[in-house]
């Protein structure tokens, strides 16, 4: 593990959500999943990717806590999985 996102160390999320994301992180493929999760933006750095994923995950968690009708647990697991996988990536690009 060459980099750990500070956001991950302070997360307080339901155990089932975290466990599902851990399993999803094992299946994560940057080439396949990243563009779908953060859009077609051209990110120049690994830090930008982590920042965007962290922001998206925080917004999803707010929706979850507020019981928003638009909240998607599937999307939350996907974003959290990507955040976990990207935070432990051995090479940035």
- Asked if pLDDT for residue 92 goes beyond 70, the answer is no
pLDDT tens digit sequence for 41-54: 666 788 889 999 99
Higher pLDDT, 88 or 24: 24
- Quote the tokens at residue 59: 């917004």
- Asked if pLDDT for residue 84 goes beyond 90, the answer is yes
- Quote the tokens at residue 19: 């466990």
pLDDT at 3: 46
Q: Which residues of 52-84 are buried (b: 16+ CB within 10 A; e: fewer)?
A: bbbebbeebbebbeeeeeebeeeebbbbbbbbb
- Asked if pLDDT for residue 83 goes beyond 70, the answer is yes
* Torsion angles phi and psi, residue 49, rounded to 5: -60, -50
């Amino acid at each position: 593990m060459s980099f750990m996102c500070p956001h991950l160390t302070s997360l307080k999320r339901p155990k089932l959500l975290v466990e599902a994301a851990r399993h999803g992180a094992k299946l994560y493929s940057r080439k396949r999943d990243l563009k779908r999760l953060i859009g077609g933006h051209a990110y120049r750095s690994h830090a930008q990717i982590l920042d965007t994923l962290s922001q998206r995950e925080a917004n999803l968690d707010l929706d979850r806590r507020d019981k928003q009708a638009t909240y998607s647990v599937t999307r939350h697991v996907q974003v959290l999985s990507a955040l976990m996988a990207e935070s432990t990536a051995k090479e940035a690009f």
